Amino acid sequence: MRLSGHGLRCVRGGREVFAGLGFTAASGEAVAVMGRNGSGKTSLLRLIAGLLVPAGGTIELDGGDAELTVPEQCHYLGHRDALKPALTVAENLSFWAAFLGGERGDAAATLATVGLDHATHLPAGFLSAGQRRRLSLARLLTVRRPVWLLDEPTNALDVAGQDMFGGLMRDHLAGGGMIIAATHAPLGIEARELRIGGVA
C-alpha cells in the first residue's frame, strides 16, 4: 500500500499555506511532518483526512480498498481530544465505533491497552489531560484503518503513556499500516522526516 500526494496546494483564509508539496508513505512506514508553527503541518493532515479541500494537486492511496475513499481509510487524531465530557469513557468509545463503522475491536481490551480499564464508567469530563489523550488513542484501536494521521500525538502523555503509544505505533506499522504525524517532539519510533516551509 502506498499513500502519495502530488503538487498539493493549500489555501486557508485567502492565504497560501503551501504549494507544490509532494509526499509518499508506504506500508510499514512512518513519516514525521516537521516545520515551524503555521507552516501547514496540520493543514496537510486535514487535506489527507478530507477535512480540507486542496486548492491544487492530488492525493492517492494505491493498494487500499477500492470501494472506499482515502479519508475512509484514515484515522485522523487532532491535537485536541474530540470527546463528549458527559459520556463515560466506554460510551465515548462506543460513539466513535458507531460513527466510524467498519470492523470493531474489543472495547474492554482496547481500554486496558491504553490504561483506562479502571475508568470505564467515569464521565470523560473527569479525566485528566493525559487520560483524555489515552481515550483519544483508543479510537485508533477500536476500528482498524490502515492510515494513521496524528497531530502532536504525544501531547499531555507522561513517560509511561509515550512508551505505551510507541508500542501501539510499532504494532500498527508491523501489521502493514502507515503513520503520518505532525510533531515538534520525537515520536519514539523510527520515522522519515518531511519538512514543510512557508508561512500560514
Would 115 be classed as within a structural domain? no
Residue in this structure with the C-alpha cell 496546494, named with its chain if needed: 9
What sections of the chain are H helices per DSSP?
Answer: 41-48, 89-100, 107-113, 129-142, 159-174
| Residue carrying C-alpha cell 489527507 | 48
56 belongs to a structural domain:
yes
Do 7 and 1 contact (CB within 8 A), yes or no? no
The fraction of the chain above a pLDDT of 90, given in percent, is 78
Tell me whether residue 182 is in a domain: yes
Domain containing 33 equals 2-84+145-195
* Inter-axis angle of helices 89-100 and 129-142, nearest 10: 40
* 80 part of a folded domain: yes
pTM over 0.85: yes
- pLDDT digits over 92-123, tens only? 999 988 888 866 778 889 999 999 999 999 99
Residue 116 within any structural domain of the chain = no
C-alpha cell recorded at residue 160: 509511561
User: Is residue 190, in this structure, part of any structural domain at all?
Assistant: yes
Contact 96, 139 (CB under 8 A): yes
